[in-house]
Amino acid sequence: MSIIAQHGEIFIILACLFGFFMAWGVGANDVANAMGTSVGSKAITIKQAIIIAVVFEFLGAWLAGGEVTATIRGGIVDPVLLQANPELLVYGMLSALLAAALWLLIASAKGWPVSTTHSIVGAIVGFGAVGLGMEAVAWNRVGTIASSWVVSPLLAGTISFLLFKSVQYLIFEAKDPFAAAKRTVPFYIFLVGFIVSMVTLTKGLSHVGLDFTFGQSFMLSVLLGIGIMGIGIIMENRVKGERRIGDQFGYGSVERVFGVLMIFTACAMAFAHGSNDVANAVGPLAAVISVVRSDGVIDSAALVPWWVLILGGGGIVAGLVTYGHKVIATVGTGITELTPSRGFAATLAAATTVVLASGTGLPISTTHTLVGAVLGVGLARGMAALNMRVIGTIVMSWLITLPAGAGLAIMFFFMFKGIFG
C-alpha cells in the first residue's frame, strides 16, 4: 500500500490547514498593501477597505485566478520526475506552504511589506533543488518568473508616472481644476472598468465555462467600462465644489472628486490581487489534493476544485480582518505622502500591471508592483517626496524573502519525509 493511500486523509487535512494559514498571511501582509494606498490617501476608511477587499479579492480569485495557480502548481518543479515517488511532491508542497506562511507571519509582525509570491516560489524552488535534485527545477521558468519581478515594478512605476503627469496637466494646471476634474475623472473611471474587464474576459473565465473571442471580450469590456463610468458620474455629481480658506485653486474639492475614483481603483486592485496572489496559497494545496485523489498520479493539468478557491478567499479575508490594519497603516503613509489623485495613479498602474501578469500566468509580486507604482508617483513630484529609508527597508526584505522561504521549506521537507517516510 502506497504512502499516499495510507496517509491520504492526513495529507489533505494538513494541506487545507497550511493553505488556510498561507492565505491568512496573504491577507494580513499583501492585501494590506493593496488597500494601503486607498486608506492612506483617506479616500476610504479601513472598514470600507475590508468590505471592498472581501468582495473583490474573492471575485478575482474565483474568476481570474486559474492561470497563475497552474504555474505555481506544476510549472516550477517538473512533475514528471516525481512519478516514481509522488509522496515527495506532497511533502514538498506542504513544506512550501508552511514555510511561506511562517515567513509571512514573521514579516507581518515586523510590519515589512514582503512579497508572498517570492516566499512561495522560493520555498518551492528550495525543496525542489535540495529534496529532489537540481535538475528537477525548471530553471528557465524560474528565470522568467524572477525577471518579471524586476519588470513589474518598473512597468507599474512608468504607468503611474505617466498617469500622474496626465492628471497634473489635464486637471491641476487647468484654469478651473474642479470643472476639469469633473470632466476628466469619468474617463479615468472608464479606464479602470475597461482594463480589468478586458483582462478578466480574455483570460480568466474559461474555467467558469465562458469562453469569449477577443472581439467579444473587447466589446463587452467597453460596455462594462461605460456602465461603471455611469455609476461614477452619478457618485461624482454629489461632490460639491466648495473652496476652503487657504485653498485658492479649489484643489480640496478636486481631491474629493478623486476620492470617488479611488473607490473604483481600490476595487480593481483587490480584484487584481485576488487573481494573482490567491494562487500562491491555493496552488500547492491543489497539487496535494490532485495527487492524493488520483492515488499518486501526478497531473499538473487537473482542475482546481471550486472549494479550494473558496478556502483561499476565506483565509485571505480572515487575515485582513484580524491583522491587516497594521500593515495598511505602514504602506499607505510610509513611502511617500499620498492624496487621492496620487493614490489613484499608483493603484491603477499597479492593478493594470498585475492583471496583465495574471493573464499571462506569471506570478509577479503585488507588493513590488505597488511599491514601484507609488515610487513612480513620488518621482513625478520630485526626488524629495520619497522616503528613502522606507525604500531601503523594503529592498532588504525583498532580498531576505527568497532565502528565508527556501531555507524553511528545506527544513520542513526533511521533517515531513522523516515523519511519514
Contact between 421 and 87 under an 8 Å Cβ cutoff? The reply is yes
Contact between 364 and 354 under an 8 Å Cβ cutoff? The reply is yes
Contact between 33 and 111 under an 8 Å Cβ cutoff? The reply is no
Tens-place pLDDT, residues 281-291: 777 887 788 77
What's the confidence (pLDDT) of residue 102? 92
295 Cβ partners below 8 Å, 6+ apart? 2, 4, 5, 8
> Residue 5, class by beta-carbon neighbours within 10 Å (0-12 exposed, 13-18 middle, 19+ buried)?
exposed
Tens-place pLDDT, residues 336-373: 667 788 888 888 888 788 777 776 767 777 778 888 88
Least confident segment among 142-146, 188-192, 223-227, 229-233:
142-146
What's the confidence (pLDDT) of residue 376? 85
Compute the mean pLDDT over every residue in the chain, rounded to the nearest whole number. Answer: 78
What's the confidence (pLDDT) of residue 248? 59
41 Cβ partners below 8 Å, 6+ apart? 262, 332, 338, 339, 340, 342, 343, 344
Backbone angles phi, psi at 239, to 5 degrees: -80, 120
pLDDT (average), residues 110-115: 75
What's the whole-model pTM score?
Answer: 0.76
The helix/strand/coil state of 77 is strand
Q: Which three cell numbers stand for residue 16?
A: 487545507
Tens-place pLDDT, residues 163-221: 888 888 888 888 888 888 888 888 888 888 887 777 667 655 555 556 667 777 788 88
Range among 101-105, 266-270, 383-387 with highest mean pLDDT value: 101-105
28 Cβ partners below 8 Å, 6+ apart? 104, 105, 108, 319, 320, 322, 323, 324, 326, 327
Find the Cα–Cα–Cα–Cα dihedral 273, 276, 277, 280, rounded to 10°.
180
6 Cβ partners below 8 Å, 6+ apart? none
H helices within 26-138, ranges in order? 32-40, 46-64, 66-70, 87-110, 116-127
What's the confidence (pLDDT) of residue 144? 79
CA distance 285 to 283: 5
Least confident segment among 117-121, 221-225, 240-244:
240-244
